[in-house]
């Protein structure tokens, strides 16, 4: 039976569910989720159902306020939705905002016994964003976290599985010295390893930090949670205006995950519109008071990336080690993405100006197409500015390509050996050479269906 890309997506929920039940011991794949104001339970349910449909095991709930009503209300809505849909959640406390564990321990204690809370090794999973330099008045950060988190919870009979993002601890990577100095952790996440640094120039993402972390973590009997992301673009104020390369970062990072086989994977992110790396829904209530974020995220849908991620998640859980093993659930799956503004734009009408790192961007149509093992003779036709600019051959598995872009409309077609178009996607926004408005380096993502 022939299944189009859109028809295949309808099968994701049932296939992911079957894979999870058959392979309950496989490594978890999560998505970082910013807790923000929500319009009601329907939004929470939609997010949970969409995440489960692509094979995610849990959301890592980024909590920046553990007591405000907007935050606790959203958390309750998410746990209710997760319980109703056999999905899991765990907390990732944002230590760039929160002062000390005592501010969030009541919330953690409240939910760690919830049926929808994610457990590993019979222990409630908990993470952070930053916090590697905070000692909470103790002799060292390790002593502080031991006293204020683990010992404080032990008195209540709770033994958390603690996998923080401590990228701010001061070292270049999570090496043997880190694990010697931080025995309090059960593992680590590296947020910053997901993209090239701005000062690295026009380079592809490296897995060097991940390799060091995996080796050191395993030598210490710990785990490593590897980050997977698309880009990072922030354009809020003078201190928050940068671009960390997107381009083919997402499929390149997929290949690295499969090669390194980390213990866990965290997708950055489900809904962080402020940093532009969202793959899910960005509800208007969460950014209602942030017009700067609205200006570069509204109308820029990234859900097309889910068509690429779903087969990857299944392949990773089944032990695949190469992108040739990442095959679609139907006849094909794919997406393409592009910036709607050329890097040469002056952005003279934007008071913030061009983001730092914009010089590292490339004017490209980026394509990821997944084809089954039996594929033969399928080509990718890339149109830019109304003209066919490239015809690319394909192989089985995940195909990635980047083609120079022109101003105007964009389109990608999948053409079989008989010359028939079996899948296509067309842009909803044209590419412009310059703008008098926002200097937007966010991506338009188009699902190939």
268-319 pLDDT, tens digit each: 999 999 999 999 999 999 999 999 999 999 999 999 999 999 999 999 999 9
pLDDT for 26 equals 54
* SS3 state at 33: strand
Q: Do domains 15-324 and 333-447 have the same CATH topology?
A: no
180-236 pLDDT, tens digit each: 999 999 999 999 999 999 999 999 999 999 999 999 999 999 999 999 999 999 999
19-70 pLDDT, tens digit each: 333 333 459 999 999 999 999 999 999 999 999 999 999 999 999 999 999 9
Q: Which two tokens stand for residue 379?
A: 């080509």
Phi, psi of 392 (to 5 degrees): -115, 130
Contact 225, 262 (CB under 8 A): yes
- Residue of 200, 274, 195, 194 lying closest to 234 (CA atoms): 274
Task: Please report, rounded to a whole number, the percentage of residues in the chain having pLDDT higher than 90.
Answer: 94
326-369 pLDDT, tens digit each: 999 999 999 999 999 999 999 999 999 999 999 999 999 999 99
* SS3 state at 231: coil
* SS3 state at 375: coil
- What is 15-324's CATH topology? TIM Barrel (3.20.20)
Opening angle at CA 223, ends 261 and 90, nearest 5: 100
pLDDT for 350 equals 97
Domain ranges of the chain: 15-324, 333-447
How far apart (Å, rounded) are the C-alpha atoms in residues 74 and 36?
Answer: 7
- Residue of 338, 313, 429, 417 lying closest to 52 (CA atoms): 313
How far apart (Å, rounded) are the C-alpha atoms in residues 448 and 367?
Answer: 10
Using CA atoms, how far residue 226 sits from 58, 146, 165, 265, 331, in Å, is: 15, 24, 10, 5, 30
Q: Which class is 333-447 in CATH?
A: mainly beta
pLDDT for 199 equals 96
CA-only gyration radius of the chain, Å: 22
């Amino acid at each position: 039976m022939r299944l189009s890309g859109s028809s295949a997506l309808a099968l994701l929920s049932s296939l992911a569910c079957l894979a999870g039940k058959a392979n309950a011991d496989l490594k978890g794949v999560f998505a970082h989720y910013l807790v923000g104001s929500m319009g009601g339970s329907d939004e929470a349910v939609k997010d949970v159902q969409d995440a489960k449909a692509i094979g995610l095991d849990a959301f890592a709930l980024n909590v920046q306020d553990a007591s405000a009503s907007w935050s606790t209300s959203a958390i309750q809505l998410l746990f209710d939705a997760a319980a109703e849909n056999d999905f899991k959640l765990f907390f990732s406390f944002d230590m760039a905002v929160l002062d000390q564990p005592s501010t969030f321990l009541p919330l953690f204690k409240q939910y760690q016994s919830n049926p929808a809370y994610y457990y590993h090794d019979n222990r409630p999973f908990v993470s952070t964003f930053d916090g590697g330099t905070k000692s909470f008045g103790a002799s060292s950060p390790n002593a502080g976290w031991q006293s204020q988190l683990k010992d404080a919870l032990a008195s209540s009979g709770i033994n958390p599985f603690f996998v923080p993002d401590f990228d701010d601890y001061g070292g270049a990577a999570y090496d043997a010295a880190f694990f010697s100095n931080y025995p309090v952790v059960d593992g680590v996440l590296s947020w910053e390893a997901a993209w090239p640094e701005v000062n690295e120039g026009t380079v592809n993402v490296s897995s060097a930090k991940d390799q060091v972390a995996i080796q050191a973590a395993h030598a210490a009997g710990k785990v490593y949670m590897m980050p997977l992301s698309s880009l990072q673009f922030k354009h809020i104020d003078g201190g928050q205006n940068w671009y960390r390369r997107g381009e083919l970062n997402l499929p390149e990072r997929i290949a690295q995950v499969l090669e390194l086989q980390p213990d866990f994977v965290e997708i950055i992110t489900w809904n962080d519109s402020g940093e532009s790396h969202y793959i899910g829904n960005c509800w208007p209530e969460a950014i209602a008071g942030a017009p700067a974020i609205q200006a570069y995220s509204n109308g820029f849908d990234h859900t097309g990336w889910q068509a690429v991620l779903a087969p990857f998640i299944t392949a990773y859980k089944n032990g695949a080690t190469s992108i040739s093993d990442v095959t679609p659930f139907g006849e094909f799956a794919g997406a393409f993405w592009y910036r709607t503004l050329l890097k040469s734009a002056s952005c003279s009408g934007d008071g913030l100006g061009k983001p730092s790192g914009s010089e590292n961007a490339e004017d490209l149509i980026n394509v990821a197409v997944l084809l089954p093992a039996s594929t033969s003779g399928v080509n990718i036709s890339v149109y830019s500015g109304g003209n066919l600019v490239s015809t690319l051959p394909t192989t089985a598995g995940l195909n990635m390509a980047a083609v120079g872009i022109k101003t105007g409309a964009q389109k990608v077609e999948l053409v079989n050996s008989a010359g028939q178009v079996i899948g296509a996607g067309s842009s909803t926004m044209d590419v412009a050479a310059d703008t008098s408005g926002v200097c937007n380096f966010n991506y338009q993502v188009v699902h190939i269906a």
